[in-house]
Amino acid sequence: MSTSVKPYPLHFKPEFKERVWGGRALEQFGYDVPAGPIGEGWMIADHANGVSHVLNGELAGQGLDRIREELGASWLGAKAQSGNGRFPLLIKLLDCNDDLSVQVHPNDHYAGLPKGELGKTEMWYVMDAKPDAKIIYGLKPGVDRTAMAQAIEEGRIMDTLQEVSVKAGDTFYIPAGTVHALCAGVLVAEIQQNSDTTYRLYDYDRPGLDGKPRELHIEDSLNVTDYAGAGASRMSTAGTPAGEWLTLAESPYFVTDKGVVQGVWPQETPADSFVVLIVAEGSGSIGWADGKLDAKAGDCFLLPAPLGAYTLDGAMTVLRSRLP
């Protein structure tokens, strides 16, 4: 791979993941979704469990892992190094046709982390939600480790959890240590640390894809849960004005903003960080000095740090993520 490749927005072929709770909703974005219950599209991924490959331009066919190895900071920016040497973020679209397990993620410092893995702080943006859709988001006030362990022992863990109604445009910041679960009827964009570590507290006693119960991780979950609250926050973004960035989440790992594009909107990449753009709804284009790319709902793009000036155009809602 030549290090003289001129920077341009990269569009990737997703890695799709079959999940017991998945469905077919990701087909609406025009992707060639494999058969079966597909729960996750790994849209921009550089992980041992999945790598996305470029669809467009001079780097077509190249995996993000190879781009990171060969172009490194010159393309991704000086900040673009995660704790395990891979691309620092993992970008997903999630089709929740059924309830996900009740789960919690560790932070980077948990001694029980699998080798080479990081903790997992993440955020969700609800792209679509059926009427009466809900999620599980945190613990009820006063629930500590003893109360949680007793509730699990007695088969009433759901009594300890907060349920929250959701609608399109809602956003949730989920720091490591926050107990959570997406529930049936939501389609979500997820921005997260580049990690695939999940500890399950409860899975509704259902069989997995192989017909056997999925593994639970009770001790690890009790260990990593932040009972005092890890700083989780939520907001409704309905009515976001066009042409202004609304900050959805600021974490040590990513900053994500929402922008409503109506016509031409000039932008610029920061010199020290790539930019990830997720088109949440609508359509339009991304233009830069050497070209233009069509963009539509469900598309995710990686803009290299040295791209510099670019424009968003059209009528679309965009999520923009970068390193802090």
pLDDT of residue 130: 97
- Cα 293 from Cα 21, distance rounded (Å): 33
Kindly report the number of other CB atoms within 10 A of residue 205's CB atom. 7
Rounded to 5°, angle at Cα 277 from 117 and 271? 80
* Residue 122 annotated as binding site: yes
Structure tokens at 130: 């059926």
Strand partners, 129: 186
Weakly modelled stretches of the chain, pLDDT under 70 = 1-3
pLDDT of residue 266: 98
- Cα 277 from Cα 126, distance rounded (Å): 15
pLDDT of residue 2: 63
pTM more than 0.85? yes
Q: Known catalytic residue: 200? A: yes
pLDDT of residue 202: 96
What single letter denotes the amino acid at residue 166? V
- Cα 105 from Cα 122, distance rounded (Å): 9
The reply to whether 10-236 and 245-322 are identical in fold is yes
What single letter denotes the amino acid at residue 172? F
Catalytic residue among 200, 206, 214, 322: 200
- Cα 163 from Cα 82, distance rounded (Å): 33
What phi and psi values does residue 221 have, to the nearest 5 degrees?
-60, -45
Structure tokens at 126: 């609800």
DSSP 196-223: ---EEEE-TT-B-TTSSBPPP-HHHHHH
The pLDDT tens digits of the residues spanning 102-127 come to 999 999 999 999 988 999 999 999 99
- Cα 192 from Cα 174, distance rounded (Å): 9
Secondary-structure class of domain 245-322 per CATH:
mainly beta
* Residue 244 annotated as binding site: no
pLDDT of residue 297: 98
- Cα 117 from Cα 113, distance rounded (Å): 6
pLDDT of residue 116: 86
- All structural domains of the chain with their residue ranges: 10-236, 245-322
* Residue 11 annotated as binding site: no
Secondary-structure class of domain 10-236 per CATH:
mainly beta
